[in-house]
A and B are shown apart, each in its own frame.
Chain A
Amino acid sequence: MSASYSWPGGLPQVPQSTGYSESIGTNVSRLPMDSGKAKIRFSSLRGDKLSLQYLMTGAQLDIFEDFVKNTIRYTRRFYLPHPRRKGTISAPLSVGYTNIDPMFVNSVNRSSGAYYRNNSSLAYASPNTVRYEKGSGILVESAATNLSIESVTPASWFLGAVTLGSNIASPDSEYPAKQWLETATTGPHYTTFADVPVSANERVVASVYVRELNPALKRYVSIMFPAAQFTANKEVFIDPATGLFGAPAGITEFGSEKIGTYYRFWAATSATVSGTATIQIRLSTSISSVSPSYAGNVLAGGIFWGRQVEIKASGGPTSLIRTTTAAATRAADSITASIPTAAPDMVEAVLSFNNGVAYRKTEVAPNHYIVSFDAEILPI
């Protein structure tokens, strides 16, 4: 049987922060020693004690006094909305970010590893572990497939009038990025997202991590969807130093996300013809030229890492998916967590008499009163 009475609904449900305090503990037996610290032994359970102040109107004060005097008769236990604790429900987290502490997670199920942001870099979460990003929360994503092979090993990417330079620390720090240096020839200087199969009317999202290589020899980077599957060459440029975009050509959906010294640059458009598309990552001396062709400089280029091509109905890319010699799928996250509910936790409490006084009331404004009292939550 639970308590028969509840804090009246017509009263304020939340106390004032002024004058609110909690005293939490348990009864212990303390035995001083001749030297050293005292022995402490658990003695018995003790209820938490609350000091509460409510701002009430005159009508609410009447309700409160009737409740204390005639309903609980000063002594009976009643349900009190806890000022601090909220109730929780265990529920699956929806796709996106949920800003709760990982300690509230009850179960995690994701059969594959996955990347997530860890401050200014990327971290790789093992299967069945939570991806928690400070400031954003717990990341939940649907399953997704990266059609671009060798996604985190740029040394294996296609060389289009470029040569590979040194390894550069990538956002991941496990798989390095690469310097891409132009060859001293005239023509397009580029690499690709490898060959990916696309179908007509599929929306294709391509993304790559880019970073400026040589500020003295400014280069811009573009994602270019080929005319064969996309009607015309569709292209948008980004300045890898600032993240600013040039005027896009045939592309309306694009964006970037800064991670440390890198930008994750993405663009999306729909295929019009089925086939195997070779989407390009191009270097350019201009931020707005389409299909740039120019005389390369062996000291100029860019730094690339982490390419990804997804078929996705809307939005930007999902978290980077590692691939090797074939497309790979990141399994969906299935996470359940104890989510605070809007309703406060109702606790069984009794009034604590302070020198025989059950509560005090002070008029602070016409028809407005501060009612203060102490309560003790039943230990069990």
Chain B
Amino acid sequence: MSRLTTMSPEAIKALFSPNSDDTLVVLLTVYDPVNTTTAVVRLADNFNKRILEDERDVYYGITSRGTDFIFIPMEISLPTEEHNTAPRASIVLRDVTRYITPLIRGLSGPPRIKLELVLYSNTDSVEAYFDYFYITNISYNNDTVSLDLGMIDYQTEPFPCYTFTPSYFPGLF
């Protein structure tokens, strides 16, 4: 089914209007690799308010459904739709505030990722979402953090799951 059929008329207008004062905002939620229902960081690629501020910095972001998403400039390649492979996506974060790096260094497994698209003018209504992606590769330097996202590709898993090996069937050997 086309993605357009699930989007609101306002979102479609924002996409196709010759002169649009609205845009889609990507919300990125990263879950804990161990406790996969606990979000450890929420990011957005745009902002419409101040989320936090202190003497030195102002943290901009977006509040969606009561939850704050911190603004970090990022480049996103949305998931592909190909027949032979599981969807893949990638994200490049402009981590100039050093907000992400300590989190990356503390990872103990592949974190689950959820991508959501909301309208700038209505951040509480999700226009599209891509869930159950996992970070399969991370690279970073002093300017950017690059994340490769992939889904579990069941087509490449063995079937049936058991094979005649000495560990499963020692009587045969």
Residues of A within 8 A of B (CB): 1, 4, 29, 37, 39-45, 75-77, 378, 380
Residues in B neighbouring A43, C-beta threshold 8 A: 23, 46
- Give Cα A76–Cα B17 distance, bound, in whole angstroms: 39
Interface string of B1-45 (1 = CB under 8 A from A): 000000000000010011111110000000000000000000000
Q: How far is the CB of A24 from chain B (nearest CB, A)?
A: 16
The 8 Å CB contact of B14, one of A41, A76, A77, is A41
The 8 Å CB contact of A44, one of B47, B54, B55, is B47
- Give Cα A43–Cα B22 distance, bound, in whole angstroms: 8
Q: Which A residue sits closest to B52, measured CB to CB? A: A1
25 A-B residue pairs with Cβ-Cβ distance under 8 Å, sorted by A, are A1-B53, A29-B23, A37-B18, A39-B17, A39-B19, A40-B18, A40-B20, A41-B14, A41-B17, A41-B19, A41-B20, A41-B22, A42-B21, A42-B22, A42-B120, A44-B47, A45-B47, A45-B48, A75-B56, A77-B58, A378-B58, A380-B47, A380-B48, A380-B49, A380-B60
The 8 Å CB contact of A42, one of B18, B23, B47, B55, is B23
Asked if residues A40 and B19 are in contact (CB atoms below 8 Å), the reply is yes
Q: Which A residue sits closest to B53, measured CB to CB? A: A1
- Give Cα A45–Cα B58 distance, bound, in whole angstroms: 15
Chain A at the B interface: mostly helix, strand, loop or mixed?
Answer: loop
The 8 Å CB contact of B20, one of A42, A44, A380, is A42
- Give Cα A76–Cα B20 distance, bound, in whole angstroms: 34
Asked if residues A380 and B50 are in contact (CB atoms below 8 Å), the reply is yes
Residues in B neighbouring A4, C-beta threshold 8 A: 55
Q: Which B residue sits closest to A29, measured CB to CB? A: B23
Chain B at the A interface: mostly helix, strand, loop or mixed?
Answer: loop
Residues in B neighbouring A75, C-beta threshold 8 A: 56
Give the most central of A42, A43, A45, A75: most B CB within 10 Å: A42
Q: Which interface class (under 10, 10 to 19, 20 to 34, 35 or more) fits B?
A: 20 to 34
Q: How far is the CB of B123 from chain A (nearest CB, A)?
A: 13
Q: How far is the CB of A38 from chain B (nearest CB, A)?
A: 9
Q: Which A residue sits closest to B54, measured CB to CB? A: A1
Q: Which A residue sits closest to B60, measured CB to CB? A: A380
Residues in B neighbouring A380, C-beta threshold 8 A: 47-50, 60
Residues in B neighbouring A77, C-beta threshold 8 A: 58
Q: Which B residue sits closest to A4, measured CB to CB? A: B55
- Give Cα A40–Cα B20 distance, bound, in whole angstroms: 6
- Give Cα A37–Cα B19 distance, bound, in whole angstroms: 10
Q: A44-B47, A77-B58, A380-B60 are in contact. List 7 more A-B contacts (CB 8 A).
A: A1-B53, A41-B20, A42-B22, A42-B120, A45-B48, A380-B47, A380-B49
Residues in A neighbouring B18, C-beta threshold 8 A: 37, 39-40
Give the most central of A4, A39, A44, A378: most B CB within 10 Å: A44
- Give Cα A41–Cα B19 distance, bound, in whole angstroms: 6
Residues in A neighbouring B14, C-beta threshold 8 A: 41
Residues in A neighbouring B47, C-beta threshold 8 A: 44-45, 380
Q: Which B residue sits closest to A42, measured CB to CB? A: B21
- Give Cα A40–Cα B18 distance, bound, in whole angstroms: 6
Residues in A neighbouring B46, C-beta threshold 8 A: 43-44
Q: How far is the CB of A53 from chain B (nearest CB, A)?
A: 27
Residues in A neighbouring B49, C-beta threshold 8 A: 380
- Give Cα A40–Cα B16 distance, bound, in whole angstroms: 10
Q: How far is the CB of B48 from chain A (nearest CB, A)?
A: 7
Residues in A neighbouring B17, C-beta threshold 8 A: 39, 41
Q: How far is the CB of A96 from chain B (nearest CB, A)?
A: 42
Taking CB atoms and an 8 Å cut-off, the chain B residues in 52-66 that contact chain A are: 53-56, 58, 60
Q: How far is the CB of A82 from chain B (nearest CB, A)?
A: 18
